[in-house]
A and B are shown apart, each in its own frame.
Chain A
C-alpha cells in the first residue's frame, strides 16, 4: 500500500506522488456536463475500482486518463506517460498475428521475445502465431492484457474488460489480473458494473454519479478474506448506484423479502 498523507481541506487523503491527479476536472459534450469538477488521485500500485450507472461518465473519465481525449487544456490533469488500456472488446488488430498485436508499436529489437514472455504469462504461449479472429473471447481478452502488460505501465486502465465473458472465464480472469498486478504493481483503475467484482479486486471503490465521485470506500480486509466486508459494502455501494438492497451477498439478495429493487430514475 502506498504512503498516504492527510492533506488539509481535501475530503480524501492525497497520496504522495500520485500516479494520477485530477483537480476540478470537467468534461462537457455540447450542453451535457458529463464530468463535473471531479477530483481523483491514484497512488502508485493502487487498485481502484470505478462503479457507476450506465452513462455516468466512466468511459469518458477513462479516456481522459488514457490520454485519448485532448480536451483538457487549462485543467489540472496529471497522468503518467507509461499507461495501457484494456477495453471491453479486445481490440486486437485482426490482420496481425497475436504476438505482433502484443508487440504493437514497441520500440527496441527483442519485441518478439518480450511479446512471447507476456503471452506466456497470461497462459497464451501456445497461441503466439494465431490470427486474433481464431481466439475465444477469453483468450482475446488475455491477449489484450498481455499487450497492456508488456508495456510495463505505471497505470493500467481496464474498461469493463470482463463484461462480455462468461462467469467461469471471468473468475479465471480475476485471478489472473490479481496475480499480474501483484507481480508488476501498476496502479490499476478498473471500470465495472459489477459490485462484487469491484469488492473482490480493489483497494478502493469509487462511485461516479452525475459527473462527480459520490462515494469512496476503502477496503482494508485482505483479498480472499472479504466475505464479512461484502455484507455491508455491497448494500452501501448498490445504494449509491440507486438500488436499495438488504445487506448480504447476491445469493440471498435477489430473493430477499425486504429488498426492493428500484430502477434508477434517469
Chain B
C-alpha cells in the first residue's frame, strides 16, 4: 500500500527509458540540423537558457508575478466557492437563491468571458485575476455543495439523537463528511487555475510567464518557450502535490489510506 500523502511516482527503471530515448533523439536531431533551432531548440540549449534565465533573475521575477496572479485568483475563487457552497448546502433558502445562478454560470465557458472582462477591467492585472477567480470558483462550489448534500442522513440522525444542535451537526458531521468532496474540487480548481493563467497572460502581459512566452514567440526563441512550458508543467505538478499532501493529512481516516 502506498504511503499516505506521497504521490506514487513509480521508479521502475523501464519507465525512464522511453522519455530518455526521445530526449537523446531530439538532441541528436538538433545537432545534425534535422530540427532547426527556429522550430525547436535542442535540450542542451534549453538547459543552458534555463540556467541563464535563473541566473539573470528573469525567470524568478516573472515566475513570481505569475505565481501571484494564480495565488490571488485562486484565493478569491476558492473562498467564494466555499462560502457559496456552504450557504447553498446548509440552508434551503440559500440553495434556492444560489444554485440556479451557479448552474447558469456553469453553462458559460469562462474563457468566453475574457473579452467582457477586458472591457470592464482594462488590460491590467484585474481581468487576469478575475478570470482565474471566476474559473476556479465553480469546481469548489459544485463539489462542496454536492458533498454537503451527500452526507449520510443516518449520521445526521445519529448526531441529533445524541442531542447535537444545528451548529454541532454542521461542525461534527456535515463539514467533515463533505471534506473529501471539497478536496476533489480543490484539485480541479488548481488545474484550471494554471490553464486560466496561460490564457489570461495572453492578454497584454508586461510581466509573468506569459509575457516571456509572448516575447520569445516574437523573437522565435523556442528555447525560452520550452523553458516556460517546463515551468508550467512544474506548477501543475506542484499544485497536485499540495492537494495530495492535504488529502493525506485530512483524510487519514479513509479506508484506502488507512494502514491495516
Contact = CB atoms under 8 A, between A and B. Distances in A.
Interface string A67-82: 1100000000000000
B31 interface: no
Give the interface centre of A83, A87, A94, A147 by most chain B CB atoms within 10 Å. Answer: A94
Contacts, number: 54
Interface stretch (B21-29, B189-197, B251-259): B251-259
Interface residues of A, number: 21
A180 interface: no
Give the interface centre of B161, B176, B252 by most chain A CB atoms within 10 Å. Answer: B161
Given A91-B154, A93-B176, A105 B162 contact: yes
Contacts of B159: 104-105
A130 B173 CA distance: 18
Given A89-B154, A104-B172, A84 B253 contact: no
Nearest to A83: B161
Interface in B209-260: 252-255, 258, 260
Interface in A40-70: 66-68
B172 A93 contact: yes
Contacts of A142: none
Interface in A71-130: 83-85, 87, 89, 91, 93-96, 104-105
Give the interface centre of A85, A89, A104 by most chain B CB atoms within 10 Å. Answer: A104
Given A104-B172, A105-B172, A133-B253, A68 B177 contact: no
A85 B258 CA distance: 28
Given A93-B172, A95-B176, A84 B258 contact: no
Nearest to B179: A95
A234 interface: no
A2 to B, nearest CB: 24
B253 A94 contact: yes
Contacts of A96: 172, 176, 253
B123 interface: no
Give the interface centre of A87, A93, A95, A105 by most chain B CB atoms within 10 Å. Answer: A95
A250 interface: no
A176 B60 CA distance: 66
A134 interface: yes
Given A84-B161, A85-B158, A93 B173 contact: yes
A131 interface: yes
Contacts of B260: 134
A85 B162 CA distance: 8
Contacts of B155: 91, 93
Interface residues of B, number: 22
A21 interface: no
Given A104-B164, A147-B162, A134 B157 contact: no
A151 interface: yes
A168 B241 CA distance: 47
Contacts of A68: 157, 160-161
B39 interface: no
B258 A105 contact: no
A94 B176 CA distance: 9
A68 B176 CA distance: 22
Contacts of B161: 66-68, 83-85
Contacts of A67: 160-161
Contacts of A134: 258, 260
A105 B177 contact: no
A57 B56 CA distance: 78
9 contacts: A85-B158, A85-B162, A95-B176, A96-B172, A96-B176, A104-B159, A105-B172, A131-B252, A133-B255
Given A68-B160, A96-B172, A104-B164, 6 more contacts: A93-B173, A95-B179, A104-B159, A105-B159, A131-B253, A133-B255
